[in-house]
Structure 1
Amino acid sequence: MPTPYLHLTDQPLDTQEAIDRASSDAAGAVDVFLGIVRNKTADRPVVRLEYEAYDPMALREMEKIAAQAAERWPVQGLSIVHRKGTLHIGDLAVVIAVSTPHRREAFEACRFVIDTLKETVPIWKKEVFEDGEIWVSAHP
Structure 2
Amino acid sequence: MGGFILGRRTHGLCGPCRRSKMMSGFPPVVRAAWVNRPIDEAFHVFTSEIRAWWPLPSHGLFGDASASVAFSDGQLVEQSVDGSEAIWGKVLAWEPSVRLVFTWHPGGDGEEASEVEVVFEADGAGTRVVIEH
- TM-score class normalised by the smaller sequence: under 0.3
Normalised to the residue count of structure 1, the TM-score between the two structures is 0.26
Normalised to the residue count of structure 2, the TM-score between the two structures is 0.27
Larger helix fraction of residues: 1
